[in-house]
């Protein structure tokens, strides 16, 4: 019987999901700009307040995970369901809905 992820120790999680850092790549900013443009097009009919490049790739000059992290901010009164559906249908991964 295998453990659920929430039952695993930090060491076990690191074995499953290792983190590799790489030297800063100036192209990350360009990749983010392309992603932001795509998101603005996909979500043009949705109540989006702001789209931001977050995480280690957004910081110039540091080693980072080679993953472009993006945060989409919506009004508190809006639901995330429609936006999440659009993103998932277009191969984006939802890492957090902001709900606790």
Q: How far apart are CA 22 and CA 17, in angstroms?
A: 16
36 lies in some domain? yes
Measured distance CA(38)–CA(69) in Å, rounded: 14
Give the residues of the chain that fall short of pLDDT 70. Answer: 1, 97-100
pLDDT value of position 2: 83
Q: How many domains does the chain have?
A: 1
pLDDT at 62: 97
**CA nearest neighbour of 56 among 32, 88, 91, 84:** 32
The CA–CA distances, whole Å, from 39 to 7, 18, 24, 79 equal 35, 28, 24, 17
Q: What is the pTM of this model?
A: 0.79
Q: Is residue 96 part of a domain?
A: no
What pLDDT sits at residue 99?
54
Give the alpha-carbon dihedral of 24, 98, 39, 75, to 10 degrees: -130
76 within domain boundaries: yes
pLDDT at site 5: 81
Residue range of the domain that includes 51: 24-89
29 lies in some domain: yes
In a domain, 11, yes or no: no
Q: Is residue 3 part of a domain?
A: no
Residue 100, pLDDT score: 43
């Amino acid at each position: 019987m295998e453990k659920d992820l929430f039952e695993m120790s930090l060491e076990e999680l690191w074995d499953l999901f290792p983190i590799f850092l790489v030297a800063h790549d100036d192209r990350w900013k360009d990749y983010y700009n392309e992603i932001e443009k795509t998101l603005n097009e996909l979500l043009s009919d949705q109540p989006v307040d702001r789209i931001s490049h977050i995480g280690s790739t957004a910081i110039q000059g540091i080693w980072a995970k080679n993953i472009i992290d993006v945060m989409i901010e919506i009004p508190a009164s809006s639901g995330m369901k429609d936006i999440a559906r659009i993103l998932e249908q277009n191969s984006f991964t939802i890492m957090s809905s902001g709900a606790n």
